């Protein structure tokens, strides 16, 4: 099953004391933004001999997401805010009290006009990228779990044509929204990604943590973790489900024996035939999923436990932000 055309190799590593939850390239180049557990947003030139992160400023809690568009970066945080940063001047443009609870992710639309954020108030919000004005509140995810505990809205992703936004929650529900109207156009379910333990431990674990649309916009991939026996640990099988989202049909469901933990990031190959999945429990892994062959031609341990990653097709470099490292890998796939 191993295909020699797939390989991954560590190129460069940057040690970090803190967890780095988010990474985003500033432009097509080696300059990156990092969202850190020390509340700071850093800028770092990964092309430099010795990359030295420089703080742009800070939130009041963990930085969970970063979006970059037209010379502006938007960061999200557990402090409930989104901050717009001018990348040319490294100045704060504005701070928006975006969510009533912890903000989990912020993304920019491919056309650069729109920003979307999700938070544990279970509302997705669509913002004007330039003005920071709110355009829509996306209300529909259940606020509590069936057993009366607070749910969480972990992730979101834009479609390649910028017309749709997918959001996904702890219970394994994905909602696809029409960006222009703010209405739900599709609802998909991946309930296996949520484990409620009603007997042994009486709480839950899991949720969809990563979403990605295929380059042609027809497929939507969701990543998380399968059912877990002992929910004290992330001891379940990493899980990816790919939907033909307009029909709601599953294209693929993949639970790979060799990788335990939760999928934190999904990236489609530009061809649309392969999917890169990163995640882990205590250790990190990366796997390449061949959507046509429905197999996994590459599955490797990483030197860090990843939280986010970005891939540059031109340089074929995969940059991973993780538990206490940020690392560049040369990826052939």
Partner 1 sequence: MSDRRRGSASFCGSPEHGIGRRAFLGGLAAVAADMTVLDVLKQPAVAAELKKQQKRVILLWLAGGSSQLETWDPKPGAPTGGPFRAIPTSVPGIQISELMPKMAKRMGDTTIIRSLNTKNGDHGGGAKLMMRGRMDDPSLRYPDLGAVIARELGQVHSAVPDYVSFYSSTEGRDFAPGAAGFLGSRYSPMELTTSLMPENIRRPDAISEIDHAERAELREVLSKRFARGRSSSELGAHNEAYARVRGLMASDKLFDISKEPQKIRDEYGPTQFGEQALVARRLVEAGVPFVRVARAWWDSHGQNFETHQELVPELDHVMSTLLDDLKRRGLLESTLVITLAEFGRTPTINASLGRDHFATAWSATLSGCGVKGGTVYGKTDAKGQSVTDGQVGAPELFATIYRALGIDHQKNYFVGSRPVPLTEPDTDPIDDVLV
Q: CA angle 118-254-139, nearest 5°?
A: 20
What token pair was written down for 182? 């703010």
Residue closer to partner 1, measured from CB, 78 or 311: 78
Least separation in angstroms between CB 34 and partner 1: 16
Query: Rule CB under 8 A: is residue 4 a binding residue for partner 1?
Result: no
> Using CB under 8 A, which of 22, 23, 37, 168 touches partner 1?
37
Interaction mask 206-245, partner 1, x per CB under 8 A: -x-----------------------xxxxx----------
Query: Rule CB under 8 A: is residue 205 a binding residue for partner 1?
Result: yes
3-state secondary structure of 74: strand
**Region for 86 from its dihedrals, namely left if φ exceeds 0, alpha if ψ lies in -120 to 50, beta otherwise:** beta
Residue closer to partner 1, measured from CB, 204 or 214: 204
What token pair was written down for 78? 């557990």
CA distances to 5, 108, 115, 174, 229 from 156, rounded to whole Å, are: 31, 10, 11, 9, 27
Residue closer to partner 1, measured from CB, 120 or 241: 120
Subset of 75-134 contacting partner 1 (CB under 8 A): 78-79, 102, 120
What token pair was written down for 323? 């538990």
Residue closer to partner 1, measured from CB, 21 or 158: 21
Least separation in angstroms between CB 233 and partner 1: 5
Least separation in angstroms between CB 255 and partner 1: 18
Please report which residue ranges of 107-173 form alpha helices under DSSP H: none
Query: Rule CB under 8 A: is residue 146 a binding residue for partner 1?
Result: no
What token pair was written down for 195? 């484990």
CB 237 within 8 A of CB 257: yes
What token pair was written down for 217? 């916009």
Query: Rule CB under 8 A: is residue 305 a binding residue for partner 1?
Result: yes
Integer Cα distance of 137 and 159 in angstroms? 18
Interaction mask 253-292, partner 1, x per CB under 8 A: --------x------------------xxxxx--------
């Amino acid at each position: 099953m191993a295909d020699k055309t797939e390989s991954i190799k560590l190129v460069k590593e940057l040690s970090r004391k803190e967890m780095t939850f988010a990474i985003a390239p500033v432009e097509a180049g080696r300059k990156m933004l990092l969202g850190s557990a020390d509340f700071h947003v850093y800028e770092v030139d990964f092309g430099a001999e010795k990359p030295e992160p420089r703080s742009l400023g800070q939130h009041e809690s963990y930085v969970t997401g970063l979006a970059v568009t037209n010379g502006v970066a938007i960061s999200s945080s557990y402090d409930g805010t989104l901050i717009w940063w001018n990348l040319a001047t490294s100045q704060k443009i504005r701070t928006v009290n975006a969510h009533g609870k912890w903000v989990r992710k912020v993304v920019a639309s491919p056309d650069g006009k729109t920003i979307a954020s999700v938070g544990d108030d279970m509302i997705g919000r669509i913002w004007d990228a330039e003005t920071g004005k709110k355009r829509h509140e996306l209300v529909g995810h259940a606020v509590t779990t069936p057993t009366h505990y607070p749910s969480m809205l972990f992730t979101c992703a834009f479609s390649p044509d910028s017309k749709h936004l997918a959001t996904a929650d702890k219970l394994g529900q994905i909602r696809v929204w029409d960006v222009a109207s703010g209405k739900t156009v599709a609802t998909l379910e991946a309930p296996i990604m949520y484990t409620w333990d009603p007997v042994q431990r009486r709480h839950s674990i899991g949720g969809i943590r990563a979403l990605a649309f295929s380059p042609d916009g027809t497929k939507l991939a969701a990543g998380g973790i399968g059912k877990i026996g002992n929910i004290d640990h992330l001891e379940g099988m990493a899980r990816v489900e790919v939907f033909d989202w307009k029909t709601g049909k599953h294209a693929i469901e993949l639970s790979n024996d060799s990788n335990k933990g939760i999928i934190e990031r999904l990236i489609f190959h530009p061809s649309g035939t392969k999917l890169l999945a990163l995640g882990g429990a205590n250790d990190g892994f990366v796997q390449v999923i061949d959507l046509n062959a429905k197999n996994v031609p590459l599955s490797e341990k990483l030197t860090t436990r990843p939280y986010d990653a970005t891939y540059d097709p031109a340089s074929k470099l995969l940059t991973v932000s993780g538990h206490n490292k940020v690392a560049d890998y040369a990826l052939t796939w």
